[in-house]
């Protein structure tokens, strides 16, 4: 759609209003005669507004006479009409053409390289590899071989499961997905212990290989041996190292706290606004109007202005900063509602921490109110397997 807007901007087009009782017939005849109309909107039952090319508007005259409608030009857009207005002002016209040329030249360059989806692979490493191949900011985007970049990065990094390269405006976008690495497995021939991953109270220890060294009721902390892979040979009384296997169920505790103010501060708009405009090239910007913002309290909204409504990403950008004055008010929140909302949020956070196979045994919720702050404590008692394998290195 952005390309079509640019095309019509160069060709020139008119915004017209068509009035009559045979609007459907008018549109059908236009379509039959291959006259392209777009952005059609109905103002009322008898009035339509739409856009047409200069050639299309001329071709509509015969149709208008046949259906008995009335057509009115509301506005004229595009380069042909702009040049006509600038005919008497040659220097201004030359400056405008030069400005357009600079914009389109700058829009043909890559000004930003964005890499998303990488977690283990550092962005700096990827940029360094691209720069070795002269793929960097300032390169003409038509010289970029997207297939070559994919080949380059997939060969450099073995842990990528997906990679896409795209050019969006003046941005080179590289999206990747890294392979999920499986948990490190210890070969069954390697001697190991099973140790505790966290603090807990032992409920059951089942040793399928090796020997359990904890019993029901024992309190263990992270790193304690639960099932040992060091056993005694019954005949020689010598130590034998084996690969411990088994599971150790323990009762563990998960807790989360949420603090919420009972008096909430809100910002209410007064209706007064103040506007500034900013001209920005790359990361550097210059504001057209400086001076103090005439409000003590305000919220800021920033909107980018697209030159000539062209939907393309240019390195030169114009932003409108609108500052809206607000009055800060304090309202007292409903305590019961606040307790319920905090409780739900705390449980949601705890659920993110729980292992998949964990069984929740009990839940305890406590509330404390102090200095207009409501503190919510949620504690879960959970039964889970807390064992993990740890290699036994030489004595």
Q: Within a 10 A sphere around the Cβ of 194, how many other Cβ atoms?
A: 27
Answer for the pair 269, 215: CB distance below 8 angstroms, yes or no. no
> How far is 355 from 372, CA to CA, in rounded Å?
35
Instruction: Average the pLDDT over each of 5-9, 29-33, 130-134, 346-350 and give the range with the smallest value.
Output: 5-9
- Count CA within 13 A, CB hemisphere, residue 83: 10
Work out whether the CA dihedral 218, 221, 222, 225 comes out positive or negative.
Answer: negative
Q: What is the pLDDT of residue 87?
A: 64
First to last CA, the chain: 72
Which of 208, 215, 214, 197 has the alpha carbon at shortest distance from 244? 208
Mean pLDDT of the chain: 84
Taking residues 290-308, report their average pLDDT: 79
Query: What is the DSSP code (8-state) at residue 180?
Result: -
pLDDT category at 198 given cuts 50, 70, 90 is very high
What region, left, alpha or beta, does residue 133 occupy, with left being phi > 0 and alpha being psi -120 to 50 degrees?
alpha
Q: What is the pLDDT of residue 113?
A: 87
Taking residues 202-224, report their average pLDDT: 94
pLDDT tens track for 120-174: 888 888 888 888 888 888 888 888 888 888 888 888 887 777 888 888 877 889 8
SS (H, E, C) 102-164: HHHHHCCECCEEEEECCCCCCHHHHHHHHHHCCCCCCCEHHHCCHHHHHHHHHHHCCCEEEEE
Answer for the pair 208, 245: CB distance below 8 angstroms, yes or no. yes
Q: Higher-confidence residue: 96 or 384?
A: 384
Q: What is the pLDDT of residue 265?
A: 87
Cβ contacts of 300 within 8 Å, gap of 6 or more: 321, 322, 323, 324
Taking residues 87-105, report their average pLDDT: 68
283 class by beta-carbon count within 10 Å (0-12 exposed, 13-18 middle, 19+ buried):
exposed
Q: What is the pLDDT of residue 305?
A: 74
Q: What is the pLDDT of residue 308?
A: 54
Between β-strands 316-332 and 200-209, what pairing exists: parallel, antiparallel or unpaired?
Answer: unpaired
pLDDT category at 85 given cuts 50, 70, 90 is low
SS (H, E, C) 28-56: HHHHHCCCCEEEEEEEECCEEEEEEEHHH
Answer for the pair 360, 251: CB distance below 8 angstroms, yes or no. no
What share of the chain has pLDDT > 70, as a percent? 86
> How far is 328 from 322, CA to CA, in rounded Å?
18
Q: Is the pLDDT of residue 42 over 80?
A: yes
pLDDT category at 359 given cuts 50, 70, 90 is very high
Global pTM exceeds 0.75 = no
Q: Is the pLDDT of residue 47 over 70?
A: yes
Cβ contacts of 221 within 8 Å, gap of 6 or more: 196, 199
> How far is 14 from 302, CA to CA, in rounded Å?
31
Q: What is the DSSP string of 58-91?
A: HHHHHHHHHHT-EEEEEEEESHHHHHHHTTT-HH
Q: What is the pLDDT of residue 313?
A: 59
Q: What is the pLDDT of residue 274?
A: 86
161 class by beta-carbon count within 10 Å (0-12 exposed, 13-18 middle, 19+ buried):
exposed
Six-digit token pair at 226? 């639960």
Backbone angles phi, psi at 85, to 5 degrees: -70, -30
Answer for the pair 367, 375: CB distance below 8 angstroms, yes or no. yes
């Amino acid at each position: 759609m952005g390309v079509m807007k640019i095309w019509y901007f160069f060709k020139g087009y008119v915004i017209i209003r068509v009035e009559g009782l045979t609007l459907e017939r008018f549109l059908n005849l236009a379509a039959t005669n291959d006259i392209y109309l777009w952005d059609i909107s109905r103002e009322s039952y008898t009035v339509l507004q739409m856009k047409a090319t200069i050639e299309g508007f001329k071709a509509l005259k015969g149709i208008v006479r046949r259906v008995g409608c009335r057509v009115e030009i509301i506005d004229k857009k595009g380069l042909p009409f702009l040049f006509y207005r600038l005919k008497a002002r040659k220097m201004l016209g030359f400056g405008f053409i030069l400005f357009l040329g600079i914009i389109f030249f700058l829009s043909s360059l890559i000004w930003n390289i964005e890499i998303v989806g990488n977690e283990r692979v550092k962005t700096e490493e990827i940029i360094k590899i691209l720069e070795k191949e002269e793929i960097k900011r300032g390169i003409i985007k038509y010289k970029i071989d997207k297939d070559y970049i994919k080949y380059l990065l997939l060969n450099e990094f073995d842990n990528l499961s997906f990679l896409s390269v795209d050019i969006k405006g003046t941005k080179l976008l590289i999206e990747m997905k890294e392979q999920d690495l499986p948990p490190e497995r210890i070969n069954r021939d390697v001697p190991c212990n099973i140790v505790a991953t966290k603090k807990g109270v032992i409920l059951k220890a089942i040793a399928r290989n090796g020997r359990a060294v904890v019993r029901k009721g024992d309190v263990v902390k992270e790193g304690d041996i639960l099932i040992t892979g060091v056993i005694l040979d019954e005949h020689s009384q010598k130590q034998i190292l084996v690969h411990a296997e088994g599971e150790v169920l323990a009762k563990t505790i998960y807790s989360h706290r949420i603090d919420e103010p009972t008096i909430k501060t809100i910002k209410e708009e007064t209706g007064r606004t103040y506007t500034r405009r900013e001209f920005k090239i790359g990361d550097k910007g210059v504001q057209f109007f400086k001076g103090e913002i005439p409000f003590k309290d305000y919220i800021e909204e920033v909107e980018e202005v697209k030159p000539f409504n062209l939907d393309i990403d240019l390195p030169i950008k114009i932003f409108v900063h609108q500052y809206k004055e607000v009055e800060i008010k304090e309202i007292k929140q409903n305590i019961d509602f606040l307790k319920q909302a905090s409780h739900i949020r705390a449980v949601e956070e705890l659920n993110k921490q729980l292992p998949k196979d964990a069984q929740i045994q009990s839940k305890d919720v406590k509330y404390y109110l102090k200095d207009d702050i409501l503190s919510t404590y949620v504690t879960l008692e959970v039964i889970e397997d807390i064992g993990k394998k740890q290699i036994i290195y030489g004595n």
